[in-house]
C-alpha cells in the first residue's frame, strides 16, 4: 500500500461543502447481487446501463437528486458518482469546476500528510483547483501543518476502490472498508466499486505554502 494513497479528501471549510461530499438524502446502496449471465462476475437482478462504468465494473447505486433536496452534508462520505465524474473530467473535488488548463492538464493534486506524491502512485482523491487548494490550506489547521501538492501531467484511469465479493456466496469479503483494484485485476468482476482510481504520472512537487 505504500504507493497508494487512499481517500485523503480535502476537508470542508465552514462556507464550502465540497463537490464530492455526499449528503443525507444521497446514501449509497448495493442492490441484491446475482451471478452475471454468460461470464463470471457479479450483476444486479435489475441491472441497468448506468450500473457499470466504461470498463464494465459494477458500481454501488446512489440517488441523483436536485441540490435543494439533497439534505445536510455528510462530510465523511463521498458521493460515488460525483467522485467518478470528478476523476473522469478532472473536476476540482471542492468547487466541481472543470480544469483551467483543460482536460489534458496538467492538474493539481493536494493531499494531507507529509509523504511526497510519487511518480506512478494511485489515488482516489480527485484534483483540486488552485484557489480551492489555497483556501483549503488556509482554512484547515491540520492541512496547513502537513500537506503535499504536485502538478501532474497524466492521470490515466487505473481502477476502482470497492468491496470484493465471494464468487460463490456473493457476500462481501471485506468488512466495509474499500480496497483498491486495478481494472486489469482478475478479481475485478467480483467488485462493487464506489470510487474511481487514477494513476499519477509526470509528477512535479509544488510548494503551495510559498
Residues lying near Zn ion in the complex (CB under 5 A) are found at: 92, 94-95, 129, 132
The pair phi, psi for residue 26, each rounded to 5°, is -115, 20
Q: Based on CB atoms, which residue is closest to Zn ion, 95 or 185?
A: 95
Q: Based on CB atoms, which residue is closest to Zn ion, 12 or 95?
A: 95
User: What's the closest the beta carbon of residue 57 comes to Zn ion, in angstroms?
Assistant: 27
User: What's the closest the beta carbon of residue 86 comes to Zn ion, in angstroms?
Assistant: 10
- Three-state DSSP state, 123: strand
Chain centroid to CA 184: 18
Residue 4 exposed, middle or buried by CB count within 10 Å (0-12, 13-18, 19+): middle
Q: Based on CB atoms, which residue is closest to Zn ion, 16 or 187?
A: 16
User: What's the closest the beta carbon of residue 135 comes to Zn ion, in angstroms?
Assistant: 8
Q: Which of 2, 19, 1, 3 is nearest to 200 (CA)?
A: 3
Q: Which residues pair with 154 in a beta bridge?
A: 201
User: What's the closest the beta carbon of residue 126 comes to Zn ion, in angstroms?
Assistant: 10
**Cβ-based neighbours of 169, under 8 Å, separated by 6 or more:** none
User: What's the closest the beta carbon of residue 17 comes to Zn ion, in angstroms?
Assistant: 12
Residue in the structure block whose three cell numbers are 483551467: 100
Q: Based on CB atoms, which residue is closest to Zn ion, 18 or 41?
A: 18
Q: Based on CB atoms, which residue is closest to Zn ion, 95 or 182?
A: 95
- Alpha-carbon distance 210 to 114, whole Å? 16
Look at phi and psi of residue 51 and say left if phi exceeds 0, alpha if psi is from -120 to 50, else beta: alpha
Amino acid at each position: 500500500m505504500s504507493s497508494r494513497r487512499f481517500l485523503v479528501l480535502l476537508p470542508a471549510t465552514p462556507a464550502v461543502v465540497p463537490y464530492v461530499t455526499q449528503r443525507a438524502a444521497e446514501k449509497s446502496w448495493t442492490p441484491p447481487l446475482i451471478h452475471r449471465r454468460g461470464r463470471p462476475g457479479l450483476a444486479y437482478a435489475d441491472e441497468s446501463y448506468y450500473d457499470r462504468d466504461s470498463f464494465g465494473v459494477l458500481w454501488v447505486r446512489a440517488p441523483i437528486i436536485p441540490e435543494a433536496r439533497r439534505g445536510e452534508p455528510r462530510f465523511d462520505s463521498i458521493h460515488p458518482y460525483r467522485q467518478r465524474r470528478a476523476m473522469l473530467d478532472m473536476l476540482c473535488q471542492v468547487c466541481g469546476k472543470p480544469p483551467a488548463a483543460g482536460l489534458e492538464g496538467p492538474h493539481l493534486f493536494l493531499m494531507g500528510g507529509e509523504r511526497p506524491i510519487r511518480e506512478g502512485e494511485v489515488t482516489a482523491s480527485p484534483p483540486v483547483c488552485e484557489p480551492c487548494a489555497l483556501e483549503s490550506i488556509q482554512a484547515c489547521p491540520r492541512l496547513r501543518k502537513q500537506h503535499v501538492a504536485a502538478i501532474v501531467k497524466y492521470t490515466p484511469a487505473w481502477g476502482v476502490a470497492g468491496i470484493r465479493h465471494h464468487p460463490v456466496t456473493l457476500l462481501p469479503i471485506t468488512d466495509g472498508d474499500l480496497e483498491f483494484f486495478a481494472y486489469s485485476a482478475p478479481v475485478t468482476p467480483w467488485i462493487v466499486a464506489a470510487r474511481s482510481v487514477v494513476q499519477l504520472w509526470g509528477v512535479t512537487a509544488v510548494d503551495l505554502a510559498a
